[in-house]
Amino acid sequence: MRFLPLVFVALAAAAFFVFPYDLAFLTRILIMIVLVLSVDLILGYAGVPTLGQAAMYGAGAYAAGLFAIHVWADPVAGLIIGGLAGAALAFVSGLIVMRTHGLTAIMLTIAVAQICLEIANRARDITGGAEGLRGIRMEPVLGLFAFDFIGQTGYWYALIVVCVVFAALAVIGRAPFGMSLRGIHESRDRMLAIGAPVYWRLVLAYTLGGAVAGIGGALAAQITQLVSLETLSFTLSAEALIMLILGGTGRLYGAVIGTVLFMTVHHLAAANDPFNWLFVIGGMVLAMVFFLPSGLISLGHALKGGRK
Amino acid sequence: MTGLEVRGLSKRFGGLVVSENIDFDLKPGDRKALIGPNGAGKSTFANLVTGILAPSGGEIRLDGRDISRMGEAHRVKLGIAKTFQITTLFPRLTVRDNIRMPILEREGRGYRLLRRADGEAGIEAEVQSLIDQFELGDLADKPVRDLAYGQQRLVEMALTLALKPRILILDEPAAGVPSSETSLITRAIERLPQDLAVLIIEHDMDLVFRVARKIVVLVQGRILTEGTPSEIAANAQVRELYLGGGHD
């Protein structure tokens, strides 16, 4: 397991050279990985299901886009702004969502994303509404690497962000805070009985997840130079959740594997059969839920006949 | 005074009175057992003391300080800890991780994001000493769900003790434990720190009579009587009401 991150980075670097004409698609995968990792922090670590992570992703995208247009087009500063926007929205909504459990919590996460979508839709003068936010022109990354129209800079930039986010979440997962989230996931009653402030831990986890999603959104805004209402859509939230479950929750690798698998199958199936590709996706999800309920990361264990 | 003082404690759920006017003391070093038939309100009493339930009336004092309205987390910080009637652990985490969790909370490490949870030598030493105390050495790195139930009970006691409580409430520590493993539990209770105030809620009379120095009998939410094990064993009312009722 120790070498797995290096293997991923090596594969991602190899992909750059093997598929030079698919960089836009590969970059979309990387951006999506950031969003799915944020869901893994909330669902995989803390055990709180969410179907509204697009709210924070969209908030980060719009914040970074607006910041680039009106204030400063520096990419790294934009990422920070996007992360802060996602964190702020997650903190405020988390104060309410984390007071509830289960279905109620899921409904609230959906509601928050829908409200954000409607606000972005109505505030046409600021967000561009259904037209999308246009006119984002980024400066070179760190003042050195200009974005090119083939997407080479964008690809490496996104890959580095994925690595940083992955490493940060891995560190948090092993730290006392991450352990306490696993504790809440395993037994909320036991955490309460040892005096842990469960509610505030979850609010903080949700806020951190929001920051990560916001960074993902900012990345998308900077690289595609466009923010559309789709960034706040329910579909995006749901797909992020499906990708995570496909890969397996709670270990970060699952988020990476699930996203790559889902998006690749989606890409190929949609290219081969633009009308029926959803059948392929549906079949894949069904098969996974039946045969590998703990996700692709449990494949090795399942083949050996072990427990998840 | 030091220790736990309960005065006139009552709890009603709607019209149902489950605790009525309970007076109860627990001092450092005490080994008290709370017994009574099913539905007598034993677990309710434990939940009132730990703060899971709010009382309808009366007072709970710890070292003279009124804690009746305090939340569960706050009472844990003051030193009241409890094991559950049904083992409540972190099933997929290892024994070591389970025992470390309360220490991290007790030491206020819960918001740390960067250092490894298992990176502090002092905390690891404390985890190890609890593992040794409860003879869990061979199992330390297994997930607790892979342990036998009796062993899980021991992990729960170790985890609770890791909070360094002054008042320890054991809610049916032997419930669900096969009789072949009950001696493990008894031995662990006998080895608890001497100055700890321990309240044991238990059905297993062998265990109660082995470890308790005082027994409180609760019937229909009221305290029927309190006495030493021999006094309780000799009490005709208790025998009739409780021990006589099908106890072998």
pLDDT at B38: 83
A179 at B interface, C-beta within 8 A: yes
Grade residue B238 by pLDDT with cuts at 50, 70 and 90.
confident
pLDDT at A29: 97
Q: DSSP H helical segments within chain A, as ranges?
A: 4-18, 23-39, 53-70, 75-97, 102-122, 124-127, 152-174, 176-186, 188-193, 198-224, 234-247, 253-272, 277-291, 299-304
Give the integer Cα–Cα distance in Å for B55 and A102: 28
Residue-range domains of chain B with CATH: 4-243 (3.40.50.300)
Mean of pLDDT values over B58-81: 92
Q: Express each pLDDT in B117-157 by its tens digit.
A: 999 999 999 999 999 999 999 999 999 999 999 999 999 99
Residue type, position B12, single letter: R
Supply A126's token pair. Answer: 């600021």
Count chain A–chain B contacts defined by CB atoms under 8 A.
93
A71 at B interface, C-beta within 8 A: no
Percent of chain A with pLDDT over 70: 98
pLDDT at B248: 41
**pLDDT over 70 (residue A305):** no
Mean of pLDDT values over A34-47: 97
* Tokens 């609760």 sit on residue: B218
Minimal Cβ distance to B110: which of A176, A187, A192: A176
Residue type, position A283, single letter: G
Give the integer Cα–Cα distance in Å for A10 and A183: 33
Given an 8 Å threshold on Cβ–Cβ distance, is A195 in contact with B101? no
For testing contact with chain A, the best of B74, B89, B112 (most A CBs within 10 A): B112
Supply A89's token pair. Answer: 């929205």
Residues recorded for chain B: 248
DSSP class of residue B240?
Answer: I
Start-to-end CA span in chain A (Å): 16
Q: Look at residues B87, B162, B83 and name the one whose alpha carbon lies nearest to residue B124.
A: B162
Chain B residues with beta carbon closer than 8 angstroms to that of A189: 84, 88
The minimum CA-CA distance between B109 and chain A, rounded to whole Å, is 6
Give the integer Cα–Cα distance in Å for B34 and B219: 10
**pLDDT over 90 (residue B181):** no
A171 at B interface, C-beta within 8 A: yes
What are the beta bridge partners of residue B13?
B16
Give B153's Cβ-side CA count (13 Å radius): 23
Q: Express each pLDDT in A199-217 by its tens digit.
A: 999 999 999 999 999 999 9
pLDDT at A299: 82
For testing contact with chain B, the best of A171, A184, A186 (most B CBs within 10 A): A186
ipTM above 0.85, yes or no: yes
Grade residue A1 by pLDDT with cuts at 50, 70 and 90.
low
pLDDT at A307: 46
**pLDDT over 70 (residue A237):** yes
Check residues A281 and B45 and name the one with the higher pLDDT. Answer: B45
Supply A9's token pair. Answer: 């980075």
Grade residue A308 by pLDDT with cuts at 50, 70 and 90.
very low
The minimum CA-CA distance between B93 and chain A, rounded to whole Å, is 8
Name the A residues in 129-168 with CB < 8 Å from any B CB: none
Give the integer Cα–Cα distance in Å for B73 and B85: 19
For testing contact with chain B, the best of A172, A179, A202 (most B CBs within 10 A): A179
Q: With beta carbons less than 8 A apart as the criterion, state whether B92 and A250 touch.
A: no
Grade residue A271 by pLDDT with cuts at 50, 70 and 90.
confident
Three-class HEC string of A45-89: HCCCCCCCHHHHHHHHHHHHHHHHHHCCCCHHHHHHHHHHHHHHH
Mean of pLDDT values over A237-252: 94
pLDDT at A77: 95
Highest mean pLDDT among A34-38, B9-13, B156-160, B242-246: A34-38
Burial A171-207 (b: 16+ CB within 10 A, else e): ebbbbbbbbbbbbbbbbbebbbbbbbbbeebbbbbbb
Q: With beta carbons less than 8 A apart as the criterion, state whether B108 and A177 touch.
A: no
Chain B residues with beta carbon closer than 8 angstroms to that of A197: 73, 110
Give the integer Cα–Cα distance in Å for B214 and B27: 12
For residue B163, what is the nearest residue in chain A, using CA coordinates?
A194
Minimal Cβ distance to A176: which of B50, B88, B104: B104
Given an 8 Å threshold on Cβ–Cβ distance, is A175 in contact with B117? yes
Minimal Cβ distance to B72: which of A180, A182, A192: A192
Grade residue A279 by pLDDT with cuts at 50, 70 and 90.
confident
- Sheet of strand B65-66: strand arrangement: B16-26, B4-13, B57-62, B65-66
Give the integer Cα–Cα distance in Å for A95 and B223: 43
B11 at A interface, C-beta within 8 A: no
Distance of CA A259 to the CA centre of its chain: 9
Chain B residues with beta carbon closer than 8 angstroms to that of A176: 104, 109-112, 115, 117
Q: Express each pLDDT in A131-184 by its tens digit.
A: 889 988 988 889 889 888 889 999 999 999 999 999 999 999 999 999 999 999
Minimal Cβ distance to B109: which of A176, A186, A193: A176
Query: Is the alpha carbon torsion for A235, A236, A241, A243 positive or negative?
Result: positive
Chain B residues with beta carbon closer than 8 angstroms to that of A201: 110-111
Mean of pLDDT values over A273-301: 84
Give the integer Cα–Cα distance in Å for A168 and A176: 14
Supply B139's token pair. Answer: 């199992």
Name the A residues in 198-237 with CB < 8 Å from any B CB: 201, 204
Minimal Cβ distance to A177: which of B82, B102, B112: B112
The minimum CA-CA distance between A47 and chain B, rounded to whole Å, is 13
Burial of residue A305 (CB within 10 Å: 0-12, 13-18, 19+) is exposed
For residue B90, what is the nearest residue in chain A, using CA coordinates?
A186
CB atoms within 10 A of CB B61: 16
B7 at A interface, C-beta within 8 A: no
**pLDDT over 60 (residue B243):** no
Q: Express each pLDDT in A86-110 by its tens digit.
A: 999 999 999 999 999 989 999 999 9
